[in-house]
């Protein structure tokens, strides 16, 4: 009888073990090891490989002097989507394996189909294991771009069949939606299991490298934010993009988490509309609400998302707590950080916030991690508590320390330049950020401050 080989895999991190264990030694998860069949008896060579002319196992690579190696940057495939190009570091690199992760329903399929439809100069193959041809066609019509004669659709989940179709179609760009639905006959376990996902990705990786065809893979994300199943997947691919945002808001952010061919701090912003995703090329304009008169509890932060400066509105509401236990709620901002800032205000400046509810909201459904937003958060909170409006023509960029000092933030010139470009009158920055800064260069009033006290004295 044919012998099958099996191993135990941790379903959360991909750790492999020969025997079952109660706790994964790698990620310390309990009861996460599951037996999976890793190899059927017989050939281990993927079918597409044995038929492909480009791969000959006898051919070995020779070492070459680095300056003799030629490469062409123009060979990157440029899409009409500027945001996508930028996140990838300037277009799709031939032979690259790109993973696009995101929660269900965030718009990964929409983004990928839109992309496949938008590059008629190259042949694209969109492979879906989740939807039928008719459903994809319906979606394409909704995107009003279904006229691309160079976009092929395949609904298939077996990698062997996929590679056969690839031989027939000879596409220049391949989209897989999603990796969790694929299965390879080399492995017996169910689609979506760690060993299947890993084997399918490995086959796609070999294919991409040997034929120089870029492959874009969609991957679902688990509740805790990691790509479902294996973390190993992230190591195998060249680029990991995260598609995120609040499903109930219209804005979506495409973020490079790892990129072998560009900066990992790039990001693109999209707006989900009835007819698909639209690029947002000037994010500051949409992140600030248009108002006639300034209202209390609102301030504008000059922050950076990735490498991109952006003005964003911070809204706070401070009200007397009806019960003994005051609430602290924040959307888009770390709640622990909010508590810390409130403690600084209470302890150092005597604001009696411990009996008040504090609600904080970052406009546009964004999640901000840039510490430079601290100052704007504090200004919004005090503005609401004192019921004194702050002019929306003033913006803030500074990190707040535990003693109420305003600390320097990175790329201050970029933040100032963006604020100036958008017509702000003034910007509050840390005193420690002014080194080497020439205020005369800018058409905006730069207000260096050392502590929160300086800020309060100027505003309230
Ligand atoms: P989808 O791309 O199917 O998400 P994913 O592949 O990440 O699971 O997008 C699903 C959501 O996008 C769905 O809630 C409807 C919305 N949507 C629009 O608002 N406009 C559109 O044109 C399309 C195609 C989808
Ligand atoms: Mg989908």
pLDDT tens for 97-112 read 999 988 888 999 999 9
Distant-in-sequence, close-in-space partners of 30: CB < 8 Å, separation ≥ 6 = 22, 23, 24
401 is in an annotated binding site: no
Sheet holding 33-39, edge to edge: 16-17, 5-10, 33-39
Using pLDDT thresholds of 50, 70 and 90, give the confidence band for residue 3.
low
Q: Is 105 in the pocket of ligand 1 (CB under 6 A)?
A: yes
- pLDDT 10s digits, 329-370: 999 999 999 999 999 999 999 999 988 999 999 987 778 889
Taking the centre of ligand 1 as the mean of its atom positions, its distance from the CA of residue 245, in whole angstroms, is: 13
- Give whole-number Cα distances, 452 to 146, 288, 375, 415, in Å: 56, 24, 8, 20
pLDDT greater than 80 at residue 459: yes
Contact between 368 and 360 under an 8 Å Cβ cutoff? The reply is no
- The best mutation among 112, 272, 273, 277 to test binding of ligand 1, ranked by most ligand atoms within 8 Å of the C-beta, falls on 272
At 379, list the tokens.
């200004």
Taking the centre of ligand 2 as the mean of its atom positions, its distance from the CA of residue 108, in whole angstroms, is: 6
* Per-residue pLDDT at 269: 86
Q: Is 242 in the pocket of ligand 1 (CB under 6 A)?
A: no
Q: Is 142 in the pocket of ligand 1 (CB under 6 A)?
A: yes
In 3D space, the residue among 350, 349, 327 whose CA is nearest the CA of residue 339 turns out to be 327
Q: Is 104 in the pocket of ligand 1 (CB under 6 A)?
A: yes
Q: At what angle do helices 194-211 and 159-169 cross, to 10 degrees?
A: 20
107 is in an annotated binding site: yes
Q: Is 106 in the pocket of ligand 1 (CB under 6 A)?
A: yes
- pLDDT 10s digits, 360-372: 999 877 788 899 9
104 is in an annotated binding site: yes
pLDDT greater than 80 at residue 50: no
CA dihedral for 69, 241, 170, 60, sign (positive or negative): positive
How many Cβ atoms sit within 10 Å of the Cβ of residue 306? 18
Residues 450, 406: Cα–Cα separation, whole Å: 5
* Per-residue pLDDT at 306: 73
- 44 versus 84: which is more confidently predicted? 84
The closest-lying atom of ligand 1 relative to the alpha carbon of residue 103 is: 7
* Per-residue pLDDT at 12: 75
Percent of the chain past pLDDT 70, that is, above it, reads 90
105 is in an annotated binding site: yes
* Per-residue pLDDT at 192: 81
- 255 versus 152: which is more confidently predicted? 152
Using pLDDT thresholds of 50, 70 and 90, give the confidence band for residue 229.
low
Q: Is 252 in the pocket of ligand 1 (CB under 6 A)?
A: no
Taking the centre of ligand 2 as the mean of its atom positions, its distance from the CA of residue 380, in whole angstroms, is: 38
In 3D space, the residue among 141, 131, 166, 135 whose CA is nearest the CA of residue 152 turns out to be 166
- 186 versus 108: which is more confidently predicted? 108
């Amino acid at each position: 009888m044919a012998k099958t080989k099996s191993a135990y895999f941790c379903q959360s991190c991909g750790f492999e073990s020969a025997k079952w264990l109660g706790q994964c030694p790698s990620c310390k998860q309990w009861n996460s090891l599951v037996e999976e069949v890793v190899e059927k008896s017989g050939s281990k060579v993927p079918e597409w490989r044995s038929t492909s002319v480009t791969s000959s196992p006898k051919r070995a690579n020779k070492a070459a002097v680095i300056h003799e190696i030629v490469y062409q940057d123009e060979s990157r495939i440029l899409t009409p989507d500027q945001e996508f190009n930028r996140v990838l570091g300037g277009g799709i690199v031939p032979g690259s394996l790109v993973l696009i992760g995101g929660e269900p329903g965030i718009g990964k399929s929409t983004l990928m189909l839109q992309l496949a439809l938008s590059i008629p100069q190259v042949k694209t193959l969109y492979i879906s294991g989740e939807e039928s041809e008719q459903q994809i066609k319906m979606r394409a019509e909704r995107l009003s771009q279904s006229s691309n004669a160079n976009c092929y659709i395949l609904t298939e989940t077996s990698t062997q069949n996929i590679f056969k179709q690839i031989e027939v179609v000879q596409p220049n760009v391949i989209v897989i939606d999603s990796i969790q639905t694929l299965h390879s006959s080399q492995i017996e376990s169910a689609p979506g299991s760690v060993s299947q996902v890993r084997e399918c990705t490995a086959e796609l990786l070999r294919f991409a490298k040997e034929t120089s065809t870029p492959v874009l893979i969609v991957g679902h994300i688990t509740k805790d934010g990691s790509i479902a199943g294996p973390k190993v997947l992230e190591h195998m691919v060249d680029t990991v993009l995260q598609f995120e945002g609040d499903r109930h808001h219209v804005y979506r952010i495409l973020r490079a988490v790892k990129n072998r061919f560009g900066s990992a701090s790039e990001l693109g912003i999209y707006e989900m509309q009835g007819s698909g995703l639209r690029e947002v090329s000037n994010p500051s304009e949409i992140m600030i609400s248009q108002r006639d008169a300034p209202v209390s509890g609102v301030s504008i932060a000059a922050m950076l998302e990735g490498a991109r400066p952006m003005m964003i509105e911070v809204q706070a509401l401070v009200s007397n707590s009806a019960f003994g236990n005051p609430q602290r709620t924040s959307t888009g901002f770390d709640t622990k950080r909010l508590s810390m800032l409130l403690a600084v205000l209470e302890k150092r400046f005597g604001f009696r916030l411990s009996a008040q509810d504090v609600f904080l909201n970052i406009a546009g459904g964004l999640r901000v991690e840039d510490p430079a937003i601290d100052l704007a958060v504090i200004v919004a909170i005090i503005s609401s508590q004192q019921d004194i409006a702050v002019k929306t023509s003033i913006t803030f960029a500074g990190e707040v320390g535990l003693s109420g000092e305003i600390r320097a933030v990175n790329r201050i010139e970029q933040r100032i330049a963006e604020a100036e470009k958008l017509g702000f009158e003034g910007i509050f920055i840390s005193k420690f950020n002014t080194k080497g800064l020439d205020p005369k260069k800018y058409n905006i009033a730069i207000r260096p401050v050392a502590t929160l006290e300086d800020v309060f004295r100027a505003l309230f």
